[in-house]
Amino acid sequence: MHYLTVILVALVAIEHFYILYLEMFRWTHPRTLKAFGMEKGLAEKTVHMAANQGLYNGFLGAGLVFGLIHTHYEFAQEIQVFFLACVLIAALYGSATVKKSIFFMQGVPAILALLSIFLLG
């Protein structure tokens, strides 16, 4: 696996672990409120929903890590492509329904990682 691919996939995984952290443990904190464009009152009402969302982001990150450490090269690539496609679909949906910047924050890194897999192997 090309080192650039490893770096890009790892960055997408780290990003999703960070989102997990924000949504599960820091949802009502001022910096998180600002990052997500939330008001404190709404954040307090949606804390459990956000934690659930964070858990799903953690699963995306875990899947990408699994793809990075799997010892069978072809299967590892398939795992990475699957989870990166999930990230991209979530980013497209989020940008269409919540905030346009989601595509740039999550979708673009996923696209770059996918391109790296397909072009560099």
Exposure class string for 86-105: b at 16+ Cβ within 10 A, else e: bbbebbeebbeeeeeebbee
Report the pLDDT averaged over residues 6-35: 97
> How does DSSP classify residue 46?
T
Residue 102, pLDDT score: 95
Residue 1, pLDDT score: 78
Spatial separation of the C-alpha atoms in residues 111 and 10, rounded to whole Å: 13
- 25-66 pLDDT, tens digit per residue, is 999 999 999 999 999 999 999 999 999 999 999 999 999 999
- 71-94 pLDDT, tens digit per residue, is 999 999 999 999 999 999 999 999
**Residue 121: band (very low, low, confident or very high) from pLDDT cuts 50, 70, 90:** confident
Residue 112, pLDDT score: 98
DSSP per position, 58-113: HHHHHHHHHHHH-SSHHHHHHHHHHHHHHHHHHHHHHHHHT-THHIIIIIHHHHHH
Residue 84, pLDDT score: 98
User: Tokens 């934690």 — which residue?
Assistant: 51
The C-alpha R_g of the chain, in whole angstroms, comes to 15
CA 1 to centroid of chain Cα atoms = 21
> Which of left, alpha, beta for 38 (phi over 0: left; psi -120 to 50: alpha)?
beta
